[in-house]
């Protein structure tokens, strides 16, 4: 339940490439941009068939129920300079990004991952400086289990999360926290108490959350699930967090429901999250990009970086430093238009990375050039 493999037929022939919502061809400094003007009714796949010199636009409409007129395709082709075509597209979309400012952050993910606790927080705060970072992000690893978003006293944080946020603020940093609102680990209390909240496929089997082999997707069509998510977000905001990193957002539209397409559901989910988070900052990750335009303050536009330069990948979503770099370059035009771009965190010094000095420099250069939110560790 990640990517588009279950609902987009990949062409057998070589020389056919596809993406979603927009695609462009560059000839010297002239761009030809093919783009959807309305993804709220359903995602638009754009395929370049090089062998047959064809560009194919398809609307993904699985699950759609229509009663009356329906506009299937609303798309445009713009030709001109890079700035001209992308400005024309966003003008047609009538999308304006939020007023979020560029930010440099420190993330706990790669230094600690699931071993992060209150002691690690205090050690970090004694070492890092506001001269280097503006945001301290408590990333994945603080929680007891994904789905159980409790910020009260836990074994890892005996002083509770509000105390941790207070200490982060006292050092002069903004505070951020990771949540994956649409998933639940098998080990979570939520899963044991509410198995009826888990998304089921057509055979009645629980749907796994893609790369998370021990986590299920929550059914966003269930009102109780939405209440659970809104309460979890409120609990984080009550602690004083300034930014929420909301991850694995694709899970909201893994299967269509209620006569709606995946695109319609994803837009509803982003509207819902924006309402929950209110005026605090959202870093959206694992989200179909167009669905986040004007709703997320910052948005991940690449896969995760890897400890290796070019991993052998089982899917287009798998980690790879090289592919993350490509994504940052070729999605640079979304920056400061739909949101502020973010690529995955990087390090210039981590000895575990199997990257040459030049490769590390490349990741750093592109991350800072093509994005406005930069994380280091």
Report pLDDT digits (tens) over 191-207: 999 999 999 999 999 99
Place of tokens 């395929």: 47
pLDDT at 190: 97
Q: Tell me which H or E stretch contains 119.
A: helix 118-127
Average pLDDT over residues 28-51: 96
d(CA 249, CA 274): 13
Helices and strands in the chain, H and E counts:
9, 17
3-state SS, residue 184: strand
3-state SS, residue 344: coil
pLDDT at 311: 78
76, 84 contact by CB (below 8 A): no
3-state SS, residue 216: strand
Report pLDDT digits (tens) over 336-363: 999 999 999 999 889 889 999 999 999 9
Question: Rg for the chain (alpha carbons), in Å?
Answer: 21
DSSP string for residues in 72-108: ---EEEEEE-HHHHHHHHHHHHT-----PPPEEEEES
**173: pLDDT strictly greater than 80:** yes
d(CA 333, CA 31): 12
**211: pLDDT strictly greater than 80:** no
Average pLDDT over residues 17-44: 97
pLDDT bracket for residue 221 (50, 70, 90): very high
Report pLDDT digits (tens) over 283-329: 999 999 999 999 999 999 999 999 999 877 888 888 999 999 999 99
Report pLDDT digits (tens) over 87-136: 999 999 999 999 999 999 999 999 998 899 999 999 999 999 999 999 99
79, 31 contact by CB (below 8 A): yes
Report pLDDT digits (tens) over 231-245: 999 999 999 999 999
The pLDDT mean for the chain works out to 95
Looking at the chain, the whole-number percentage of residues with pLDDT higher than 90 is 90
- On whether the pTM is more than 0.75, the answer is yes
pLDDT bracket for residue 213 (50, 70, 90): confident
pLDDT at 4: 94
3-state SS, residue 171: coil
CA angle 169, 172, 177 (to 5 degrees): 45
d(CA 215, CA 116): 20
89, 33 contact by CB (below 8 A): yes
pLDDT at 2: 83
């Amino acid at each position: 339940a990640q990517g588009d493999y279950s609902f987009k037929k990949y062409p057998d022939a070589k020389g056919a490439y596809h993406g979603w919502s927009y695609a462009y061809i560059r000839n010297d400094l002239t761009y030809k941009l093919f783009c959807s003007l309305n993804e709220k009714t359903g995602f638009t796949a754009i395929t370049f068939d090089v062998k047959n010199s064809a560009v194919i636009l398809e609307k993904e409409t699985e699950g759609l129920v229509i009663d009356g007129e329906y506009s299937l395709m609303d798309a445009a082709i713009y030709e001109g300079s890079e700035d001209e075509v992308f400005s024309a597209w966003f003008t047609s979309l009538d999308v304006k990004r939020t007023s979020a400012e560029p930010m440099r952050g420190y993330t706990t993910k790669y230094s600690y991952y699931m071993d992060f606790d209150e002691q690690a927080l205090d050690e970090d705060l004694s070492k890092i400086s506001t001269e280097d970072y503006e945001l301290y992000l408590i990333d994945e690893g603080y929680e007891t289990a994904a789905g159980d978003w409790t910020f009260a006293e836990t074994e890892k944080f005996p002083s509770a999360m509000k105390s941790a946020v207070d200490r982060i603020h006292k050092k002069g940093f903004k505070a951020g926290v990771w949540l994956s609102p649409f998933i639940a680990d098998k080990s979570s209390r939520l899963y044991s108490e509410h198995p009826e909240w888990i998304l089921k496929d057509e055979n009645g089997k629980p749907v796994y959350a893609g790369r998370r082999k021990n986590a299920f997707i929550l059914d966003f069509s269930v009102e109780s699930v939405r209440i659970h998510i809104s309460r979890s977000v409120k609990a984080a905001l009550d602690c004083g967090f300034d930014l929420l990193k909301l991850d694995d957002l694709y899970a909201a539209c893994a299967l269509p429901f209620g006569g709606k397409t995946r695109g319609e559901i994803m837009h509803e989910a982003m509207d819902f999250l924006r309402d929950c988070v209110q005026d605090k900052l959202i870093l959206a990750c694992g989200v179909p990009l167009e669905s986040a335009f004007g709703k997320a303050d910052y948005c991940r536009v690449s896969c995760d970086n890897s400890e290796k330069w070019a991993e052998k990948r089982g899917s287009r979503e798998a980690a790879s430093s090289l592919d993350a770099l490509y994504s940052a370059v070729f999605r640079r035009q979304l920056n400061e238009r739909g949101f502020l771009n973010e690529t995955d965190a990087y390090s210039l010094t981590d000895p575990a990375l199997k990257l040459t000095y030049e490769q590390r420099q490349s990741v750093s250069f592109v991350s800072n050039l093509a994005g406005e939110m930069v994380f280091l560790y």
